[in-house]
Structure 1
Amino acid sequence: MKDRVIRNRDLVRVPWRNGGGTTAEVAAFPEGSGFDSFSWRISMADVASDGPFSLFPGIDRTLILVEGDGIELDVEGIAYQLDRASPKLSFSGDNITTGHLLSGPIRDLNVMTRRGRFRHRTRFVESGVALLSEDTVAAALVALDGSFDVTVHSMLHSLQAMDTLMLEPTQDLLQISGSGRAILVEIEPDPA
């Protein structure tokens, strides 16, 4: 896989079956895999109304609020509020989960890995440098609320808000300059 930029404007948004929003796949492995066959998947969802989340048995998930005021997730009867102060939650796709919007629609970044094959890690980054874990087999840098220039492998990649830079594994420093925040997603094999 070569480093490549995926523009937010090029993502294909597909309506949910329950009509509560849309989803757009950013990347998945293997490429072209469906919900029953992916090993890992990164997507963005526009959530327009309250409702249940789809079950994904055997999948570990991280949901990150990227636009909007927030959502309260009820995961197996325990409430978690995702807002600007606390925008991220990791949970099992096996768990019965429902969402309640705090104040209008939101957009979230959703990272899913199939247990026993892969696991993932997410972190917020700003201008500066970042280094991928040695075990990383695929990575993505998603610009959230500003534009970024990312230099890796002596190549400059320019991102606008909600664009994604898919990265091949590297031990080179990622040089990041710009304004706002970005999310760095790292996928690695699950030794379990």
Structure 2
Amino acid sequence: MRARVVRNHDLVRVPWKNGGGTTAEVAAFPEGSTFETFGWRISMADVASDGPFSLFPGIDRTLIVVEGDGIELDVEGIAYLLDEASPKLSFSGDDITTGRLLSGPIRDLNVMTRRGQFRHRTRFVESGVALLAEETAVAFLVPLDGLFDVTLDSTIHSLQALDTLMLDATQDLILLSGSGRAILIEITPDPI
């Protein structure tokens, strides 16, 4: 099984689609794709001020607050509070969305998949074992709170907070050890 670690400190910042800030792309498919051509994209954004989100027609999104006190998202006129107790929201990239910071800047993890090509699922995991869904094509593990060791095929991958482990699909158990939580992202082909 192939696995690759992407260190948080190595991420390169690029402008948001709407020019209102920057994001750090963790991975995208196909490699070298643009905002208009990706099938899936994983990124981290630093949000320092209130404002509109970029529109991504045809894209399903999940946003997870990974640092900071939180943000209130207004999605098509409905308010959603994302904070430590409830840090995650899935919504359509077609929807007009604005953000209002609760108390200072945040960092968020964004997962985006193009409808008709891919779907995604995100879940929080802790020390123990994880098993990917059978249809998973590629997966990502992002520790939130500290050090995390991931054992795959007897190889240990040591991750710090907000590093990302990208791994090919496997039906083997993934052994996780560390303190705190991590986010497991699974990308699957869209059967449409």
Using the size of structure 2 for normalisation, the TM-score is 0.97
Alpha-carbon shift at residue 152 of structure 1 (Å): 1.0
Task: Provide the C-alpha distance between the structure 2 equivalents of 1:29 and 1:164, rounded to a whole number of angstroms.
Answer: 16
User: 2:60 is matched with which residue?
Assistant: 60
| Structure 1 gap ranges (5+) | none
Q: How does 1:130-145 map to 2 (within 5 A)?
A: 130-145=130-145
**Kept after mapping to 2: 8 A contact 1:150/1:156:** yes
- In structure 2, the residue corresponding to 1:103 is in which secondary structure? coil
Q: How does 1:36-75 map to 2 (within 5 A)?
A: 36-75=36-75
Q: Supply the AA of the counterpart residue of 1:108.
A: D
Task: Provide the C-alpha distance between the structure 2 equivalents of 1:45 and 1:110, rounded to a whole number of angstroms.
Answer: 8
User: 1:91 is matched with which residue?
Assistant: 91
- In structure 2, the residue corresponding to 1:9 is in which secondary structure? helix
**Kept after mapping to 2: 8 A contact 1:20/1:50:** no
Q: Supply the AA of the counterpart residue of 2:135.
A: D
RMSD: 1.2
Q: Supply the AA of the counterpart residue of 1:61.
A: R
**Kept after mapping to 2: 8 A contact 1:129/1:173:** yes
- How many residues align? The count is 192
**Kept after mapping to 1: 8 A contact 2:60/2:115:** yes
Q: How does 1:1-192 map to 2 (within 5 A)?
A: 2-16=2-16, 20-192=20-192
- In structure 2, the residue corresponding to 1:110 is in which secondary structure? strand
**Once the two structures are aligned, what percentage of the paired residues are identical?**
82
**Kept after mapping to 1: 8 A contact 2:23/2:45:** yes
Q: Supply the AA of the counterpart residue of 2:184.
A: L
- In structure 1, the residue corresponding to 2:34 is in which secondary structure? coil
**CA 1:17 to 1:187, structure 2 compared with 1: closer, same or farther past 3 Å?**
closer
Alpha-carbon shift at residue 180 of structure 1 (Å): 1.1
Task: Provide the C-alpha distance between the structure 2 equivalents of 1:102 and 1:7, rounded to a whole number of angstroms.
Answer: 28
**Kept after mapping to 2: 8 A contact 1:117/1:190:** yes
Task: Provide the C-alpha distance between the structure 1 equivalents of 2:148 and 2:177, rounded to a whole number of angstroms.
Answer: 6
- In structure 2, the residue corresponding to 1:132 is in which secondary structure? coil
> 1:114-161: CA deviations, max 9, x gaps?
000000000000100000000000000001111100001221100001
**Kept after mapping to 2: 8 A contact 1:59/1:115:** yes
- In structure 1, the residue corresponding to 2:187 is in which secondary structure? strand
| Structure 2 gap ranges (5+) | none
Task: Provide the C-alpha distance between the structure 2 equivalents of 1:19 and 1:92, rounded to a whole number of angstroms.
Answer: 20
**Kept after mapping to 1: 8 A contact 2:17/2:54:** no
